[in-house]
Amino acid sequence: MADLFDMKVGGLGFHLTAHMIALAALFVACFAITGYITFRDNSVPQTAIDGEDTNLAELTVTGLTTFSGGVKHDITLIPDAADDITITLLESGKIYHFGTTTGAVGVADGNNSMTFQLPTPSAAGEVITLYHTNAAVVSKILGFSTTLPASQTIKYWAYAQQVFIEAGTTVTGVNGTANTMVKLSASSTILGDIYTFTSMSTTVWRLDINDATNVLEAGDIVVDPGNVLGYID
């Protein structure tokens, strides 16, 4: 019986044997090993190849964001307002920390009311995130307004540890007269609370309030006209 791995290729004058198949496989393996070595030399620090101590969590991956031990996000710190009438304009796509004198965690808590004004979204799907950093509740109010109250509104939903608390919607109109702002009562915010704004269109913002420590109660959030100058009062 002929060898199953001994095949004659008609017209070519040679036999394809198991030895020739093995030789071809060897060439393929050599190319694969060469490619791996090239990738390794270009991707891994020489100290890691030599077995020296290297913190792989601090490597920079080409084309990706540099990270150190985890994902790094750009954070914008918002210092405590200098008074109760300061208006802080937010920007789409940003993550903010606020609630202390500098905005950072671990420093003295703020002691002024704060009004945040949302920008005019260019489309649906824009996101802004606010993180509270104050260690204790601040006995001052917090407000959210829009850039163009005559045509823009805010719809809010509040949850405490994933339990629904309340919801509401502002109306279009004039600050100081119509309920164009969202107002949080004093002593209702603390470290761990997260406010996420998502544009639903070019005229509507959705506000999701996540109360991590169960400080909020029904009635703590209302729609309010604020002051004619644009700040919450």
The predicted structure's pLDDT at residue 162: 85
Q: Are residues 36 and 129 in the same domain?
A: no
Task: Please say whether the beta carbons of 190 and 132 come within 8 A.
Answer: yes
Q: Is residue 67 part of a domain?
A: no
Q: Determine how β-strand 142-146 pairs with β-strand 181-184.
A: antiparallel
Task: Please say whether the beta carbons of 138 and 184 come within 8 A.
Answer: no
Instruction: Kindly tell me if the per-residue pLDDT of 11 is higher than 80.
Output: no
Q: pLDDT digit string (tens) for 33-91?
A: 666 566 556 655 555 555 555 454 443 333 333 333 444 568 999 999 989 999 999 99
Instruction: Kindly tell me if the per-residue pLDDT of 205 is higher than 70.
Output: yes
Domain range for residue 26? 7-56
Number of folded domains in the chain? 2
Q: Are residues 165 and 216 in the same domain?
A: yes
Q: Are residues 108 and 186 in the same domain?
A: yes
Q: Are residues 142 and 209 in the same domain?
A: yes
Residues shown for the chain: 233
Q: Are residues 102 and 190 in the same domain?
A: yes
Within 8 A by CB and 6+ apart from 134, the residues are 99, 100, 109, 110, 189, 190, 191
Integer Cα distance of 87 and 195 in angstroms: 17
Q: Are residues 40 and 141 in the same domain?
A: no
Q: Is residue 49 part of a domain?
A: yes
Q: Is residue 62 part of a domain?
A: no
Q: Is residue 66 part of a domain?
A: no
> And the tokens for 110?
């703020």
Q: Is residue 174 part of a domain?
A: yes
Q: Are residues 182 and 96 in the same domain?
A: yes
Q: Are residues 79 and 182 in the same domain?
A: yes
Q: Are residues 41 and 79 in the same domain?
A: no
Specify the pTM. 0.69
